[in-house]
Structure 1
Amino acid sequence: MSDHSPDPGAEAANAPRGLNMRQLEVFHAIMTTGSLSGAALALHVSQPALSRTLSHCEVRLGYPLFERVGRRLQPTPEALRLHEEARDVYRGLDRLNTLAQRMGTAGVDTLHIAASATFATTLIPQALRQLMRHSPGARIDFRTATYDELPEHLLSGQAEVGVSLVQSDHPGLKSRLLGRQPLLCVLPADHPLAGEPCIDPQQLCRSAWIGYPPDTPLGRTCERLLGMDIACASIQVRSPVIALSCVQMGLGAAIVSASCLSLVPPGDCVTRPLAVVADSDIWAITSARLSGSALAQNFVDALYAVIQRLERAA
């Protein structure tokens, strides 16, 4: 009787395999551009060569990645799922390149800062002015980020210091409370409540006002501390800076941190205290695993001094 048992070597040779880096690059380019011709231009290779590489990809994987629809390639469900992971790979590569470039300029004193837009045009520039007086040769890379984006910037090495309205609970990060700023109400000059000496948050809910979603720091404060029904806001925004722009256009009142008031042009709006005292915290966030540079520490100290000076003047 002949032996028809499978050949383990043949099975291993025919088993589906993963993609190598070049094949992943080709797959990512096709998914990004939507066509072989676009991917060929992006990768500076001929279209026939790219087509052969794609065929090799599908042979290695054991299933098709694209279907032809007219002159375009339609990704299969498998391709869409793979591309989700491929995007993570390329984001990681971007972070690696950013870190490599920073290490390549190790001789240059550069501080990378990420901060909420709330502080971008007010507190941060004041702190930088103080910092540059003591470190005139320093270079600053400053970007804005939402509070939920800050941890990724810090953990990936894209930023050394983050400034946020909320404390980070990530085990790889540490937070330092720099101070507090009172929350105030900014209203268009012709708003029905503009003549009031102070603003009751409950009364504000019955007029035109600009609110924040419940997953934002100010949204949580308005809902939990001030007892406001944030769902009834005329407009919802994710940044006090945008809220102030809406106020200036006469779209309603908004509750913002006192640190934003320098953005309010005189005459366009009026500012009133709240009937309920409420503050917003200001946190400096840094890595809990890496020791910060002297420049980073000097910046945090300068920002602390600016905030304390504002608190004393309030």
Structure 2
Amino acid sequence: MRFKLRQMEVFRAVMLTGSINAASKMLYVSQPAVSKLVAHTETTLGLRLFERAKGRLIPTAEAQALFREVEQVYQAALRVDEFARALALGPASLLRIACSPSLAPAIVAPAIVELKRQLPGLRVDWHTTLMADMPLEVLSKTVDVAVTSLPIEHEHLEVVPFMRGRMVCVLPPDHPFAARERIALADLKSEPMILFRRDIPFGTMIARACQQADVELTSVVDVTRADQGLALVRGGLGLAIVDEYATGGVDCVVRPLVEDLEMVSTFVYSKFSPPSRSAMALMQAVCRRADELGRRIGAVNF
């Protein structure tokens, strides 16, 4: 390997700080050592990475392109380091969770709070992501368990339904429809809409419902996350259709739809790796949260 990890680390430090002096302080090494390694890296790669100007290093276009790749490698290395440290503490000391963004505040966050009170020594790595990315994350063991707004189909994944919800319409408080108890898709034909992209599950669900109702909605902005749509509704750009769990605490009017756009939330984990005790504890806490909301379905036993 011509471009070694130590060279990447020094190159990244110079890119972030803009000078040999600052990079050496960041890495706790001498300036000559950093300068020598930068020069050696340029020679071995056959690339001019920096232009020298008044004591600063100006990255070339090649350096900018290389930095994007190096940053991905560096972040991956940090995750490996974190994982190794967790293994040293014991295999059950780290729980990695992914969830759909709309489930984060109302469902998953309270469950994590409960879990940490039960297991204060447990380290939790939690992020939100789109459902399209979850299968790879679970199967590659980047996460231990995923919590999805809608079911995922994959032959190597266990998909366990635990909660039912519905799509709702969100509108500004001063909109005429705010006086209605329910809103039909047909009512929205002439309204500016903020809609999920059609290539993601929520967007597909809404498009299918519109097709069945023989309704064509006009999207002024396509989004991938409910919080994006809610922010645009608050700004007065239009109305949105989102899942009900995303609407907690929003300063907008939320109305159920006449049409029943049902969503079934699930736990997802690998068929090849049974969930750990901490993963099962998390799923139990999530189920209790679903119980509190009166949305629990199925008899999930962990």
* TM-score bin (small chain): 0.7 to 0.9
- 2:273 maps to what in 1? 290
- Aligned residue pairs, count: 292
Matched to 2:197, the amino acid is P
Q: Deviations over 1:91-142 (max 9, x none)?
A: 2201101211221332875543222231122122454577679x46674626
Percent sequence identity over matched residues? Answer: 31
What aligned pairs does 1:49-198 form with structure 2 within 5 A after superposition? 49-69=33-53, 71-106=55-90, 110-125=94-109, 127=111, 135=118, 139=122, 141=124, 143-147=126-130, 148=132, 150-151=134-135, 154=138, 157=141, 159-168=143-152, 173-198=157-182
Tell me the SS of whatever aligns to 2:272: coil
Please identify the structure whose Cα radius of gyration is greater. 1
Verify: 1:232 aligned to 2:219, yes or no: yes
Task: Determine the C-alpha separation between the residues in 2 that align with 1:242 and 1:85.
Answer: 28
Task: Determine the C-alpha separation between the residues in 2 that align with 1:50 and 1:65.
Answer: 14
Tell me the SS of whatever aligns to 2:2: coil
2:190 and 2:218 in contact (8 A); partners too = no
Task: Determine the C-alpha separation between the residues in 2 that align with 1:168 and 1:70.
Answer: 56
* Alignment equivalent of 1:254, drawn from 205, 224, 240: 240
- 2:300 maps to what in 1? none
Verify: 1:39 aligned to 2:26, yes or no: no
Q: Deviations over 1:7-42 (max 9, x none)?
A: xxxxxxxxxx71333323222222333332332222
Tell me the SS of whatever aligns to 2:177: coil
- Give TM-score, length-normalised by structure 2: 0.77
Task: Determine the C-alpha separation between the residues in 1 that align with 2:133 and 2:101.
Answer: 12
Task: Determine the C-alpha separation between the residues in 2 that align with 1:107 and 1:60.
Answer: 40
Alignment CA distance shift 1:278-1:156 (3 Å): same
Alignment CA distance shift 1:71-1:262 (3 Å): same
Task: Determine the C-alpha separation between the residues in 2 that align with 1:278 and 1:77.
Answer: 49
- 1:204 maps to what in 2? 188
Tell me the SS of whatever aligns to 1:113: strand
Task: Determine the C-alpha separation between the residues in 1 that align with 2:59 and 2:26.
Answer: 18
Gap runs ≥5 in structure 2: 298-302
- Give TM-score, length-normalised by structure 1: 0.74
Tell me the SS of whatever aligns to 2:295: helix
1:213 and 1:230 in contact (8 A); partners too = no
Matched to 1:179, the amino acid is M
2:157 and 2:271 in contact (8 A); partners too = yes
2:172 and 2:252 in contact (8 A); partners too = yes
1:168 and 1:174 in contact (8 A); partners too = no
Task: Determine the C-alpha separation between the residues in 2 that align with 1:162 and 1:102.
Answer: 20
